[in-house]
Amino acid sequence: MPYVLLVEDDEALRITQSLYLEQEGLNIVAVANRTQARQELARHTFEVVVTDLRLGEENGLDVLRDVRQIQPTAEILVITGYGSVGTAVTAMKEGAYDYLTKPVDPEYLVRAINKACERRELRQHVGHLQDRFIKEVGLDKIVAVSPSMQRIIQTIQDVAETEATVLIEGESGTGKELMAKLIHEHSKRSAGPFLAVNCGAMPEDLLESELFGHMRGSFTGAHKNHKGLFEAADGGTLFLDEIAETSQNFQVKLLRTLQERSIRRLGDTQEAPVDVRLIAATNQDLIKLVRDGRFRQDLFFRVKVVPIYIPPLRERREDILPLAENFLVHLSNRMGRRRPPKLTEAAQISLTEHSWPGNVRELENSLERALIINKTEEIGTEDLFLEDCLPLQERASNEADSREMSMAEMEKRHILNVLSNCRQNKARAAEILGIGYNTLWRKLKKYGVDRSKDSLKEDGETS
């Protein structure tokens, strides 16, 4: 049974309306003025508030504003005299659901209250669906307190309304895929699919088949026709992560797809049109790769129509603690904990002073580890284990060695140093270095690292 707050200064009218509404199955709390209304709003939760706009010397608009402040989910109906319709319109602009003119038909008032209750339930249902969707796709992990992140969010909102291709740049773990999802969800394509593929996580042949599809018999193991991600994402958005990891041959095919807006499956002779918005991402310097001849210049200009650079976490320290609090709530809910623990002052200092080479992903992992280990209501510095992720110490070298060392040799030493600090964890090393896993393997192979073992075997080569 809905709870309704009735604010009416006329005592006789207040009593008769209350009795009628109660007979219609509504729970009624009736008061005479704004002060009493504020007291009841603080005491009970109401689905609907019905207020006269003229309350003696008081103004019903003030009651409306109180409701918006104390119980923003409540629907508001205002009652006004025939000559004060303009005031009722003002009330609706300030958030009232509807207005009724005096004298009010009791049956019409009941119908208006019931419609207001239905509207409130619908708004709550939509809100729950939005919250669930946001959590499912991970958008609740986006925190934009720092000016740089606020500018990025504004850019995303501006570009989302267009069909422009977007290139998101930033170190590993900064949340590039989340930003791509945010663009998709604010675009006209939000009802369509959002599909993501990591270009650096699969061989070129498999990547080509995954994106463009293949026909039966086009290669060994192709037992049936296969629709690629370009076709599957038709009407939606395709996110290509680590696009810098692709080969020149693949880049030519991708460029043709973007230019012609059509694809050809492997083994097929026919072109198929596709309607897909492309968002690409990289943790490398594409301009440098273009200069080095490792990334096609024409594709570079095609994908970098709107560039968005996400700064590393160490350059936006205002976001660290809000992100940490957000992660604690999210992770605690996922783990079934009744309430998220608090961070001690020392833990907060440690978080804000840490360099976060793994960025937001590393922060989330650190807090998840802390929640697994610590079951109390307070997380301290010792629970974060940040010493395992401290900034890497460069090996000491004298000035003469540095002057005589080639760039290739310096790169080699740095990569092997990082790998050593990561205890031969290649995935972790690639993340810290800001390069793709396959790129790291190619370099290690050149340095003489045996892929079948996790030991270092240098063959004397310097690059």
Q: What is the CATH number for 439? A: 1.10.10.60
Do 18 and 102 lie in one domain? The reply is: yes
Higher pLDDT, 214 or 363: 363
Do 31 and 165 lie in one domain? The reply is: no
**Does position 218 have pLDDT exceeding 80, yes or no?**
no
Do 183 and 295 lie in one domain? The reply is: yes
Would you say residue 220 lies in a domain? Answer: yes
251 phi and psi, to 5 degrees? -60, -35
Higher pLDDT, 323 or 453: 323
Higher pLDDT, 13 or 407: 13
Q: CATH number of the domain that 112 lies in? A: 3.40.50.2300
Q: How many domains does the chain have?
A: 4
Would you say residue 265 lies in a domain? Answer: yes
CA distance 130 to 117: 20
Burial grade of 33 (CB within 10 A; 0-12, 13-18, 19 or more): middle
Residue 381, domain extent:
328-389
Do 54 and 88 lie in one domain? The reply is: yes
Would you say residue 321 lies in a domain? Answer: no
pLDDT value for 123: 81
For the record, the structure tokens of 121 come out as 């339930």
Would you say residue 104 lies in a domain? Answer: yes
CA distance 318 to 310: 14
Q: Are 240 and 208 in contact (CB under 8 A)?
A: no
Q: Average pLDDT over the chain, rounded to whole? A: 83
Q: CATH number of the domain that 296 lies in? A: 3.40.50.300
Q: Are 267 and 217 in contact (CB under 8 A)?
A: yes
Would the pTM of this model clear 0.95, i.e. be above it? no
CA atoms 403, 404, 410, 413: torsion sign: negative
CA distance 82 to 286: 68
CA atoms 168, 173, 174, 176: torsion sign: positive
Do 32 and 180 lie in one domain? The reply is: no
Higher pLDDT, 403 or 16: 16
**Does position 391 have pLDDT exceeding 80, yes or no?**
no
Of the pLDDT bands very low, low, confident and very high (cuts 50, 70, 90), residue 242 is very high
**Does position 398 have pLDDT exceeding 60, yes or no?**
no
Do 26 and 44 lie in one domain? The reply is: yes
**Does position 296 have pLDDT exceeding 90, yes or no?**
yes
Do 171 and 276 lie in one domain? The reply is: yes
pLDDT value for 402: 43
Of the pLDDT bands very low, low, confident and very high (cuts 50, 70, 90), residue 446 is confident
Would you say residue 319 lies in a domain? Answer: no
Higher pLDDT, 446 or 113: 113
Do 242 and 303 lie in one domain? The reply is: yes
Of the pLDDT bands very low, low, confident and very high (cuts 50, 70, 90), residue 389 is very low
**Does position 79 have pLDDT exceeding 80, yes or no?**
yes
Domain boundary among 311, 340, 370: 311
Of the pLDDT bands very low, low, confident and very high (cuts 50, 70, 90), residue 305 is very high
> 357-389 as b/e, with b when 16 or more CB fall inside 10 Å?
bbbbbbbbebbbebbeeeeeeebbbebbebeeb
pLDDT tens per residue across span 315-333: 999 999 999 998 898 888 8
Do 74 and 194 lie in one domain? The reply is: no
How much of the chain exceeds pLDDT 90, in percent? 45
Place of tokens 């991970």: 138
**Does position 369 have pLDDT exceeding 50, yes or no?**
yes
**Does position 137 have pLDDT exceeding 90, yes or no?**
no
Which stretch of 118-122, 216-220, 305-309, 458-462 has the lowest confidence by average pLDDT? 458-462
Domain boundary among 311, 345, 367: 311
pLDDT value for 394: 42
Do 215 and 293 lie in one domain? The reply is: yes
Would you say residue 323 lies in a domain? Answer: no
CA distance 109 to 100: 8
Please give the average per-residue pLDDT across 94-101, as a whole number: 86
Do 64 and 195 lie in one domain? The reply is: no
Q: Are 372 and 332 in contact (CB under 8 A)?
A: no
Which stretch of 216-225, 295-304, 331-340 has the lowest confidence by average pLDDT? 216-225
| Cα Dmax for the chain | 100
Residue 198's closest CA among 166, 239, 170? 239
Q: CATH number of the domain that 363 lies in? A: 1.10.8.60
CA distance 443 to 325: 39
Of the pLDDT bands very low, low, confident and very high (cuts 50, 70, 90), residue 36 is very high
pLDDT tens per residue across span 172-210: 989 899 899 989 988 999 889 999 999 988 888 788 888
Do 265 and 303 lie in one domain? The reply is: yes
Domain boundary among 311, 346, 369: 311
